[in-house]
Amino acid sequence: MAQRILLVNKFYYPRGGDCVVTLNTQSLLRSRGHEVAVFSMQYPENIESEWSKYFAGEVDFSGGLKAKIAAVKRTLGMGDIKQSFARILDDFKPDVVHLHNIHSYISPVVAHLAKQHDCRVVWTLHDYKLLCPSYACLRNGSPCELCFTSKLNVLTKRCMKGSLPASAIAWVEALKWNRKRLESDVDAFICPSQFMAHKMEQGGFNPSKLHVLCNFVDPVKMQSFESLPVDEREPYYCYVGRLSQEKGIATLLEVAQSLPFALKVAGNGPLEQELRDKYSGVNHIEFMGMLNATQVSHLLNHATCSVIPSEWYENNPLSVIESLCAGTPVVGAEIGGIPELIENQNGVTFAWGNDTELKQAIDEAFHRQWNYHDIQQQALKDFSDDYHYNKLINIYKQ
């Protein structure tokens, strides 16, 4: 008999990678005959759902004093969250509660409530929040692991937006939802990369509860990649992702202006206008803005290569996975989970943040003879929904 699964994520629309993975997992489980319910926070952009009536009320950290107090209470599992989640547990009666991105807007209190209802609790980790109260393991633009041993560092270093109050809230939240408490409420943590599993173990988490399971590409997008000609390449390379400092886009553009190859940049973010202004006079750099899924597929399928120049601990970036599914080799930074996805036959790696190595890697990618068909076929196998489902269901049943 198929298990009943309750998926939990703080937003219920394709806002970011965590949301996309949640939505893809919902489709995957339903296609295999499972009854699936969802729980999220009320939000204007959410997809309509029969389960919306159970969603927790919206909280807003940028509102007035009353709104901020309500938001802080939510991080600590106070307010309406317990009642809202208890209602869906009582009515849906899930066998498995599968958590995704829940901190701040939902709260780990849901793991405790699910455990009290005798559910198996599984948590897919999309960031480093359980190790780093500010999520990203970044300080002053460089990787930082100080909070692995003492969460007080988030307060003393003011890691949350440089703000003492915001950092104090993150510190209190980390004390409330400490490793011991989380491990008692969660049966399995899914780490999308071996790198993340290693960092979780480094932070003291029980290795027996850590399961490595890579993200997958939803079948519709897979079909899109497969339907396009894999060998019709054009002389450009591309970047698909957020235009922010930790993504290494500033480093890439600095290098790109001195290379003879055309670069197409797809995405938006806090650095977009600054970068557009700075490189407006460079004819071989094109800013394409935010593209839809079909446009991204076409962009990747015709590129000579894609570049992932990240300068933070990327977990299991879909940008790498989707590029490979398009048969497009990847020039990737040697940081986080990126190197796990790149082998000699499907890409080139370089020391993160190193202009010289990045330039050499892009040049090498343009001059190598790639077997685009083989790259795609291997990726379609490695990141298929069938492969992911079989491993996921084993985690659910353990």
Residues 6 or more apart in contact with residue 116 via CB below 8 angstroms: none
- 219-382 belongs to CATH 2.40.50.140: no
List per-residue pLDDT tens for the chain, 398 residues long.
Answer: 689 999 999 999 988 889 999 999 999 999 999 999 999 999 999 999 999 999 999 999 888 889 889 999 999 999 999 999 999 999 999 999 999 999 989 999 999 999 999 999 999 999 999 999 999 999 988 899 999 999 999 999 999 988 999 999 999 999 999 999 999 999 999 999 999 999 999 999 999 999 999 999 888 888 888 888 899 999 999 999 999 999 999 999 999 999 999 999 999 999 999 999 999 999 999 999 999 888 999 999 999 999 999 999 999 999 999 999 999 999 999 999 999 999 999 999 999 999 999 999 999 999 999 999 999 999 999 999 999 999 999 999 97
Question: What is residue 219's predicted lDDT score, i.e. its pLDDT?
Answer: 85
169 phi and psi angles, rounded to 5 deg: -65, -45
Domain ranges of the chain: 4-216+384-397, 219-382
Fold of 4-216+384-397: Rossmann fold (3.40.50)
> Do 237 and 365 meet the contact criterion of CB atoms below 8 Å apart?
yes
Strands (E), the chain: 4-8, 35-39, 96-99, 120-124, 138-139, 142-143, 188-191, 210-212, 236-240, 262-266, 285-289, 305-308, 330-333, 347-350
Structural tokens at position 251: 């480093």
Fold match flag (4-216+384-397 vs 219-382): yes
* Helices and strands, counts by H and E, the chain: 17, 14
Going by the DSSP 8-state scheme, the letter that residue 57 receives in this structure is P
Structural tokens at position 164: 């003492």
324 phi and psi angles, rounded to 5 deg: -65, -35
Dmax (CA) for the chain in angstroms is 62
Question: What is residue 398's predicted lDDT score, i.e. its pLDDT?
Answer: 77
> Do 130 and 203 meet the contact criterion of CB atoms below 8 Å apart?
yes
Which of 95, 127, 125, 122 lies closest to 111, judged by CA? 122
Question: What is residue 62's predicted lDDT score, i.e. its pLDDT?
Answer: 84
- CA pair distance 202, 206, nearest whole angstrom: 10
> Do 318 and 297 meet the contact criterion of CB atoms below 8 Å apart?
no
Structural tokens at position 345: 């036959």
**Backbone CA torsion sign across 335, 195, 173, 63:** positive
